[in-house]
């Protein structure tokens, strides 16, 4: 009501974006290569992004997905290959609500969620995204009813077992981050086996955050550093961003910083997921519940991402 009378934008633009006209993409593509003019020194950790971008643009032979380039699909209309994010993070929210809306038990919602995840993994493989991190189970979720927690953990175990063959054949490397000490021993063992089996796969790295907390990730990195300092391996003055990056749980990947974070179900919060790593991540919040998040919604999120100008604190002009 108030915003109708006054010509001021009051809407929260973090709420689901509307896709902009296609012509905007061409403009963004030409700006993208000028994001880092010589006078701006890029923070060291983003050096790889600049290299990869210029390689893609200049050579067009080294594709992001490496030796699987011949299996890559044409991107849907409206998406630019050079502007695809290397690392996508997803907060898979809304399974419970989805089930309640249909009068189904929560477990049905989580199972539908697994199907959505399977579809997203496939899309990421086909479109050349290198890393996909998903927030499967937060450290804070342990307070949920035991029945639901037990179901979730057993669902995770079943899915890992049943998908192991598919992921191996598909060249997917699986890593699990989070405090695994609270997980049942059988699951811990399975996780270890799966990580070992898939560690040489290189088409897509799927990082599953289970019993994970962004704050505790930083705390465990800090403890690691404190130990090293105690044994004289490092001096306290040497603690810098790159040292912490090496100690965080996302050190299992070459690209620990997500370019894009998608959260489903309309909740506009980060909820203690990957705090350090999200410093410059583009955030996209979608209204759909996780089991309803499919190819169209992913394309919409990617389109929104590709239209953004990332400055990292600097200026374009």
Partner 1 sequence: MQKGGVGEKMLKFLFRVVRFLRKCIFSVLSVGPVPAHIAFIMDGNRRYARQHNLKEGAGHDAGFLALMSIVIYACELGIKYVTVYAFSIDNFRRRPEEVECIMNLMLEKIELMCRKDSIVNRHGVRIHFSGNLELLREPMRDAAKKLMAVTANNSNALLTLCVAYTSTNEIIQAIQKSCEEKWVENQEPRRVGRGPINLLEIEKQMDMAIAPDPDIVVRTSGENRLSNFLLWQSARSYLFSTLALWPDISFWHLVWIVLNFQRNQSRVEKKNKQV
Contacting positions for partner 1 (CB under 8 A): 2-3, 6, 8-14, 39-41, 43, 96, 143-145, 214-216, 218-219, 222-223, 225-226, 229-230, 236-237, 239-241, 244, 268-272, 275-276, 278-285, 308, 310, 312-315
Catalytic pick among 93, 200, 259, 296: 93
CB closer to partner 1, 81 vs 228? 228
Output the CA–CA distances (angstroms, integers) from residue 155 to 112, 151, 172, 196, in the order listed: 11, 6, 20, 21
CB closer to partner 1, 45 vs 126? 45
CB closer to partner 1, 167 vs 304? 304
CB closer to partner 1, 79 vs 244? 244
CB closer to partner 1, 169 vs 315? 315
* 93 catalytically annotated: yes
* Sequence-distant (≥ 6) Cβ neighbours of residue 296 within 8 angstroms: none
Instruction: Give the Cα separation of 36 and 97 in Å (integer).
Output: 43
Pairing state of beta strands 282-285 and 260-263?
parallel
Query: Could you tell me the smallest distance in angstroms from the CB atom of residue 249 to partner 1?
Result: 15
CB closer to partner 1, 41 vs 181? 41
Q: Which residues are catalytic?
A: 93
């Amino acid at each position: 009501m108030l915003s109708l009378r006054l010509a001021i934008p009051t809407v929260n633009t973090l709420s689901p974006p509307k896709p902009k006209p296609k012509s905007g993409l061409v403009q963004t593509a030409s700006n993208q290569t000028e994001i880092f003019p010589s006078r701006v020194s890029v923070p060291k950790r983003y050096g790889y992004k600049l290299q990869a971008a210029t390689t893609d643009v200049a050579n067009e032979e080294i594709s992001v997905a490496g030796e699987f380039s011949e299996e890559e699909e044409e991107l849907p209309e409206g998406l630019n290959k050079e502007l695809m994010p290397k690392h996508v993070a997803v907060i898979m929210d809304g399974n419970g609500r989805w089930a309640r809306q249909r009068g189904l038990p929560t477990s049905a919602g989580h199972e539908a969620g697994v199907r959505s995840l399977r579809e997203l993994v496939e899309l990421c493989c086909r479109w050349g995204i290198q890393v996909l991190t998903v927030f499967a189970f937060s450290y804070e979720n342990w307070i949920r009813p035991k029945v639901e927690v037990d179901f979730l953990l057993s669902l995770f175990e079943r899915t890992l077992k049943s998908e192991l063959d598919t992921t191996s054949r598909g060249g997917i490397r699986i890593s699990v981050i989070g405090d695994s000490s609270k997980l049942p021993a059988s699951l811990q063992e399975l996780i270890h086996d799966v990580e070992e089996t898939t560690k040489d796969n290189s088409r897509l790295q799927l990082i599953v955050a289970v019993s994970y907390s962004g704050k505790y990730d930083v705390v465990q990195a800090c403890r690691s550093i404190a130990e090293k300092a105690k044994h004289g391996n490092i001096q306290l003055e040497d603690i810098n961003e790159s040292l912490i990056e090496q100690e965080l749980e996302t050190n299992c990947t070459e690209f620990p910083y997500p370019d894009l974070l998608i959260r489903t179900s309309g909740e506009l919060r980060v909820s203690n997921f990957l705090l350090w790593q999200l410093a410059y991540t583009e955030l996209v919040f979608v209204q759909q519940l996780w089991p309803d998040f499919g190819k169209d919604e992913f394309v919409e999120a990617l389109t929104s991402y590709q239209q953004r100008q990332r400055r990292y604190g600097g200026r374009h002009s």
